[in-house]
Amino acid sequence: MCRLPGEGGFSAPVEAVLTPRESQVLWHVAQGDTYARTARCMGISVHTVDAYLRRIRAKLGVATRAELIRLAMVPGDGRPGRRHTDAPRSGPEHP
C-alpha cells in the first residue's frame, strides 16, 4: 500500500526551490521508501526517481541521501514532511 504525503511540508529552504513533484519524491525517500517503492507509488520508473533525486541534490547543494533528508527535516520536529506546529502535543491538556 502506498502512503500519501502528509500535510505540512519540508523546511523553508527546501520548499522554496522544489517543484511539487520533486517534493513528492523527497517525501517518499525521507519516509524510508526505496526507489522501487517510490516509483511504484508515483507511477514513474526507478530511473525517473533517481533523476529527480539527482536534480534535488543539485538544487539543494548536497551530495548524499542522508544530507538530503537532514536538510528536509523540519526544525524542532525531527521528522520529515511535518511542520513543528503540527507535532503531536503532550501534557495534562493533551493526553
Nearest to 68 by CA among 44, 85, 50: 50
Which domains, and CATH codes, for the chain? 18-75 (1.10.10.10)
- The label of the residue with cell 547543494 reads 61
Whole-angstrom distance, CA of residue 6 vs CA of residue 34? 18
In the three-class reduction of DSSP (H, G, I as helix; E, B as strand; rest coil), residue 73 is classed as strand
In the three-class reduction of DSSP (H, G, I as helix; E, B as strand; rest coil), residue 80 is classed as strand
pLDDT at 65: 87
pLDDT at 69: 83
| pLDDT averaged per 10 residues, the chain (length 95) | 65 80 91 94 96 94 89 59 43 48
φ, ψ of residue 73 to 5 degrees: the values are: -60, 140
pLDDT at 78: 45
